[in-house]
Amino acid sequence: MERFVVTGGTRLVGEVAVPGAKNSVLKLMAASLLAAGRTTLTAVPDILDVTVMGDVLTGLGASVERDVEGGWIGIDVPDEPGVAADGDLVRRIRASVAVLGPLVARCGEARVALPGGDAIGSRALDIHVNGLTKLGAVVDVEAGALVARSGGRLQGASIWLDFPSVGATENLLMAGVLAKGTTVIDNAAQEPEIADLCAMLTAMGARVEGAGSSTLVIEGVESLTPVAHETVPDRIVAGTYAVGALMTGGDVMIRGGRAGHLGIVLEKLVQAGAEVDVRADGFRVVGRDRPRSIDVVTLPYPGFPTDLLPQVIALESISSGTSLITENVFDSRFVFCRELHKLGADLRTDGHHVIVRPAQRLTGARVMASDVRAGAGLVLAGLVADGVTEVTDVHHIDRGYARFVESMTALGADIRRVPDRAVA
């Protein structure tokens, strides 16, 4: 176990490059199962979750070659992949449930353990199950695993999602591309990562219309071919650095960040006092004064992303006024608030709301990263706290942020990775 030791009082200044998106690359890796042969993905982030997903695919019979420095991964999928994903690996990351759709579509059967991952609340799989059932699969829970069997080729269907779940949209999209006939997914998730998956599937020979909209129309094909595909930039990583620039009164050029994927986020940061300059190769964020208070409500894309909620709560803890933050996606996201309170933040939770009042100051303390984004939010808070902040359980941060310490250090942050038992 390791921890980050953050000494407050420095500004983030300089340039940072945005890697490929965690929330896309893991699903692209799962999509490789749809075609025998070699799929190559580029702009692959150097994060722990990619390693785990690679191990999941290896367990299904694929050969995985990865060049961390070059940022690419090659996945050789056999003619007959396995259908049972390793339970221990699946329980480490929730995104591994994305192999369910491709396996049942191509192999007629899939066995995937109930997934694990972040401690941010329940994420029911009912939407996945209901959609696969409409496509003709029989889905049961057996010994702690979801088992889906099609008894032949899946059949196209009209599917209405009760909630625009990203994971369910991806699973049903990947199942539908090999189903017989037409599949229509209404109230589909619209995140840029969904559009990225649609682009890769289309390049593989799938027939998908409506990418980026709430309705996906899929004309099933009998087979797909492997391709090379570049992963879309990570909007959550870009947003994290943008919040950090404002919090610290810094000046950061975020290379590769796509402002169009962060519309409401950048609007909120401007309301909070940031100067945002959108350029062809990214965008620049400058913070000059104490941030102003803003209210934020998380919603599915194009609304404010839940994955940036901890970072914006950290921002509001040092703002000039009272803020109301509302979480509508995950029911335990506010676990983060207990840790931020240890640093002196003045906040109170009430159901799915948190009221954040301006603190006189934040003071360094030992805090725990309960999930990927909570860890990032605590690091940002540590940058503006007096003294030293120690963030433990940083393996969560490593799951979603490539070379986070190195990138922060290059921007001027005083942050070190040390063994958890070492003396700061």
- C-beta of residue 296 within 8 angstroms of C-beta of residue 269: no
Please indicate if the annotation marks 22 as binding a ligand. yes
Region of 372 (left: φ > 0; alpha: ψ -120 to 50; beta: rest) is alpha
Please indicate if the annotation marks 338 as binding a ligand. no
SS3 content of the chain, % helix, strand, coil (to 5): 35, 25, 40
Please indicate if the annotation marks 307 as binding a ligand. yes
DSSP assignments along 280-296, one per residue: TTEEEEE--SPPPP--E
What is the DSSP code (8-state) at residue 304? B
Is the dihedral angle over the CA atoms 92, 96, 100, 103 positive or is it negative? negative
Please give the Cα distance from 266 to 254 (Å, whole number): 13
What is the DSSP code (8-state) at residue 196? H
Cα–Cα distances in angstroms (integers) from residue 233 to residues 193, 287, 317, in the given order: 9, 23, 28
* DSSP helix/strand/coil, 109: strand
Residue with tokens 């605590």: 378
Q: For residue 96, give the amino acid letter.
A: S
What angle do helix axes 192-203 and 22-31 make, rounded to 10 degrees? 30
Distance between first and last Cα of the chain: 15
* DSSP helix/strand/coil, 423: coil
Please indicate if the annotation marks 329 as binding a ligand. yes
Instruction: Judge whether 118 counts as a catalytic residue.
Output: yes
Question: Residue 24: which residues within 8 A CB-CB, separation 6 or more?
Answer: 192, 193, 196, 197, 231, 232, 234
Query: In the structure encoding, which two tokens stand for residue 21, read together?
Result: 């998106």
Q: Which of 49, 118, 196, 371 is catalytic?
A: 118
Could you list the residues known to form a binding site for UDP-N-acetyl-alpha-D-glucosamine, using ranges: 94, 307, 329
Question: Which residues are designated catalytic?
Answer: 118
Could you list the residues known to form a binding site for phosphoenolpyruvate, using ranges: 22-23
Could you list the residues known to form a binding site, using ranges: 22-23, 94, 307, 329
